[in-house]
Homo-oligomer: A and B are copies of this chain.
């Protein structure tokens, strides 16, 4: 039974835990790092790192997608971002990264340019030509309209992602837009689909039943997120991941063996955070802001995601990462090291391999059994 408290007479609420409220406890034998594998496989695709780079224009460009794949991860290009709105987005990037900052109002204007499905198809073609697996993110609202072009151009993985999505969306009765039926939609596709974010057991289970290959847990909370303030929605990630893992077990049972991958997204900035997300039950992590520090990152020292440019109610700030250009690490140092930085924010997956070794596990799947302690470091 989940832990519940009565916040008022007749009103119960579950207690949720954030990743920074839990920690790993090494309890068994230790192991040499060299015998540890962090590899991850979704559908037919194998990756050396359990990493999905978030569909943020500040992180994934056609160029960095290639670099991230080379280092072992999967990069998701935002199908409704600047590369789908501008033939050449370099001027838009320059405005966002300009000295003196970029206001949210300006960001709204930059993203007001419509998405072109012709441009979108061209990005897919270019990425295929570069020899990488092509993953694109579309929002639930625009999947029906934009997916045909993407699929025709040959995307390998489709990511359907909003802050919070559900398997069953009730549209307006008089709505012009066609509502997306995820189950029907996914059934007709030949490529794996990743959907999310979800925040609890019930939604995770429903999303698994749509036939998705992967489910994203969380909405990508980062240092500039204001979703909690604007919407009152907060996702205690340790609880949300563990709940989704329970849904994965239930779904495995009801399908007699279909395994849906969980991708944790949000509230992770260090190797330790990633390790804790995996131990809570994630198969891989989606990272945005932590990768924006890389010297190759297109954000130029800033980070933002799709919620920052919402035309009526932006739900995150454009974050200035406050790092001097010469102090930005390479993607390689950031992901696999070595590093001389002691903050835990670099050599992220070297950290993961090391703690797996210290806890005595040799694969991510085994590592999900590690012991956790609830503890509030102050």
Contacts and interface: CB of A to CB of B under 8 A. Distances in A.
A283 interface: no
Nearest to A14: B373
A231 B313 contact: no
Interface stretch (A120-128, A186-194, A198-206): A198-206
Nearest to A233: B24
A6 B11 contact: no
Interface in A219-259: 224, 226-234, 236, 238-243, 245-246, 249
A286 interface: no
Interface stretch (A42-50, A52-60, A342-350): A342-350
Interface string A90-124: 00000000000001110010000000000000000
B35 A172 contact: yes
Interface residues of A, number: 113
Given A172-B32, A229-B345, A354-B231, A378 B203 contact: no
Interface in A287-340: 308, 311-317, 337-340
A285 B184 CA distance: 42
A170 B36 CA distance: 11
Contacts of A345: 229
Contacts of A351: 230-231, 313
| Of A30, A108, A342, A374, most B-chain CB atoms within 10 Å | A342
Nearest to A244: B8
Q: How many copies of this chain sit in the oligomeric assembly?
A: 4
A313 B347 contact: yes
B18 A164 contact: no
A115 to B, nearest CB: 20
Interface string A16-36: 111010111111111110110
Interface stretch (A79-87, A153-161, A273-281): A273-281
Nearest to A9: B246
Contact of A165 (B30, B103, B276): B30
A8 to B, nearest CB: 2
A173 interface: yes
Given A30-B165, A232-B276, A374 B9 contact: no
Given A16-B373, A175-B34, A241-B8, A228 B29 contact: no
Nearest to A310: B342
Contacts of A373: 13-16, 234, 236, 239
B312 A337 contact: yes
B11 A275 contact: no
A3 interface: yes
Contacts of A171: 32, 35
Given A25-B200, A26-B203, A313-B347, 4 more contacts: A7-B238, A34-B172, A229-B345, A316-B342
14 contacts: A7-B17, A7-B238, A10-B242, A14-B373, A17-B375, A228-B377, A230-B270, A231-B271, A232-B274, A232-B355, A234-B375, A313-B337, A314-B342, A317-B342
For the complex of A and B, 5 pairs with smallest distance between CB atoms: A8-B242, A229-B344, A232-B272, A23-B234, A230-B344
